[in-house]
Structure formats: structure tokens, C-alpha cells
Amino acid sequence: MNDMVLKKFLILIFISILSACATVNPAPENLACSDRECLKTLVDNYLQALVQGNPEQLPFAEDAVFVENVERKAIGTGLWETASALPNNYRIYVPDPVSGQVGFFGLMEAEGDPMLLGLRLQVKQGQIVAAEHLISWITNDAMLANLQNPRAGLLTPIPESQQLPREELLAIGYSYYPALDENNGILSPLADDCVRFENGMQTSNNSGAASIFGKMLCGPQLSSNYFQYIDTINNRRVTIADPETGLVFGLSHFRHSFAEKETPIYGVEGQTVRDLTMFNPFDMPAMHIFKIGPEGQIHQIEAVGVLVPYQSPTGWGW
């Protein structure tokens, strides 16, 4: 059995295990937003209210939870007080009527400065029960240039006859986190043309990258042990998928102690160790959007990540 056949075999086994273990959220009872377009409209209405600083425009439940950059806040505070412009053309929606959730990435402004917003909304019985913001300020012109429009193909619809089941999409999206955490790219079906952008910066498959690691394909990059500095990936939540676009929305919380100041590197010519002495401990809550093709491979990854103090709470009580 050659390496390619073995890889496909292991991936199929891994996905089948994840699919069997995944929790499938039933459609919330009496949910007002019972289709994709309603959830996308809800995001647009939310953003409009956000810029106007007027949460009263929206149907928040009395006990609705609002978390921004892992800090639980009162609705109407935080970005509600500073948002100054609606998102530009860089808008990515991941609506999921089955779970009553919608994920969204958009480049907008707060107090006149550009910021990348990762957003999750959850609705139940016609009310917003959870709102989650992840805000990353974009100060680099090159990163800003990559956030003017969604990348080609990211929003391309999947023909109905080729759409994967929602549960399978969730399992494939989830597989990225153990592959990253265990430094083993074979654990996730990462296509050879997979490209990852983080806060607008291309961090894989980038021929113009200054680092050899930035030039690497997604799978080999994970297997090189480059990300060994990640201690744990906590608060993994992959419950939003849109079969019509093949998009999956994931949330997580990375912890990095940098207890090891030097880690080995594998399979990279001229590189045997990675020096980490310049890094101090930090956490990074993150949101990811995965584009999954009809064949079940991840082709594109968009990420929003924010640096917060090491061992920060998640904002959700776990």
C-alpha cells in the first residue's frame, strides 16, 4: 500500500469515527430562522445594529450570553460602543439552520480603524441566545489588501448532487484541530492546493513567504513539528456547517506556555530545530472557516486569531 492510498484510508477511518461521535444538534423548536437566508439576514441586521450601537433593534433573549475576545460582557458594551463602519466586500457567511447558528467573518471599522470580526450567533425560538465576537485589529497594509474580497472559490456553491452531509462536513472540519495539536497532517484531509490565511496573512503554500515553513503545503507543514509549541487546543466547537457552500465554522482556544525553548523539526531540508527563546507565554482564541470540496478535502482555511494573556478563561465557563 503506497503512502497516498494509506493516507486516504486513514482519513476515511478518522472521519468515520468523528462522524459517529459527533453530536448532531436538532433544529431548535419553533425557530424563527429556519433557513439559510434568514440566518444571513440576521447577521446583516446584527451588524447594522452594532454600528448604530442599538442592541434594542434585535430580539435578544433575556438571558442571552455575549462574549467578546473571551471576556463575558453586557450586551451593548465592547464593540457595540466603538463600531463605526459596516463590513466591506470581505464577508463570509456560514449559516446552519440545523443548529440554529451562523458564523461570519467580515472586515469592518471600529473608531475609524480596520478590524477583522469573527462572529457567531445562536438563535432559539426566534431569539438570539448567544453572541460571540473575536476582534483582530488589522494594521499591516499587506494583510489589509487580502481582506478586501473573499478568496476565489471560497463562496462557490457546491452542486446539490455533490454536497456532503452536514455531519461529514463537521467531522472533516473538526479533524484539523487534532492534526494541528498532534503535529500530524495525515489526520486531516488537507488538499495539496490548501491555502491558509490568518488575519489576512497567507501562512501556507505561499511561494513569496520569507520563511521556508510559510512556503510549505498545509499537511506537510503540520507534520514538520513546526507547531509543537502549541500545548493544547481547548474549547473546540465545530457545530456549524453549510452543505450548500461546503463551509465549516470552528472555534477554539490555543494555549502556549513555551516551556520548551527549542523543538525538533522533521522533513525540512536545512532545518533540524526551531528556536523559541524569543517567545513569551500567551493564549490565542481563534475562529476558523474551512472550505471543503465534494471529494471531502479541505482546500481553503480562513482564520481570525487574537493574542490574550496566558491561561485566560474562555468566557464560556470552561
Same domain, 50 and 110: yes
Last residue of a domain, one of 120, 145, 170: 145
| The pLDDT of residue 12 is above 80 | no
Q: Is 258 helix (H, G, I), strand (E, B) or coil?
A: coil
Q: Is 47 helix (H, G, I), strand (E, B) or coil?
A: helix
Last residue of a domain, one of 98, 115, 145: 145
Q: Does residue 152 form part of some domain?
A: no
Q: Does residue 268 form part of some domain?
A: yes
pLDDT, the chain, mean: 92
pLDDT of residue 158: 98
Q: What is the pTM of this model?
A: 0.91
| The pLDDT of residue 16 is above 90 | no
Same domain, 271 and 129: no
Residue with the three cell numbers 516551556:
259
Residue 181 is part of which domain span? 3-26+158-305
Tens-digit pLDDT profile for residues 143-170: 999 999 999 999 999 999 999 999 999 9
Q: Does residue 318 form part of some domain?
A: no
* For the chain, percent of residues with pLDDT exceeding 70: 90
Among 22-26, 86-90, 108-112, 313-317, name the one with the lowest average pLDDT: 22-26
Q: Does residue 239 form part of some domain?
A: yes
Are 155 and 245 spatial neighbours (Cβ–Cβ below 8 Å)?
yes
Are 217 and 194 spatial neighbours (Cβ–Cβ below 8 Å)?
yes
* For the chain, percent of residues with pLDDT exceeding 90: 87
pLDDT of residue 307: 97
Same domain, 172 and 291: yes
Are 117 and 106 spatial neighbours (Cβ–Cβ below 8 Å)?
yes
C-alpha cell at 169: 462536513
Question: What is the greatest pairwise CA distance in the chain?
Answer: 61
pLDDT of residue 18: 52
Same domain, 103 and 250: no
Same domain, 261 and 127: no
Are 175 and 189 spatial neighbours (Cβ–Cβ below 8 Å)?
yes
The number of CA neighbours under 13 Å toward the Cβ of 4 is 2
23 pLDDT band, cuts 50/70/90, is very low
CATH of the domain at 61: 3.10.450.50
Q: Tell whether the torsion through CA atoms of 269, 272, 278 and 279 is positive or negative.
A: positive
Helix, strand, coil shares of the chain, percent, nearest 5, are 25, 35, 40
Instruction: Count up the domains in the chain and report the number.
Output: 2
317 pLDDT band, cuts 50/70/90, is confident
Same domain, 93 and 234: no
Sequence-distant (6+) residues with CB within 8 A of 242 are 36, 93, 94, 95, 96, 169, 248
Are 116 and 304 spatial neighbours (Cβ–Cβ below 8 Å)?
yes
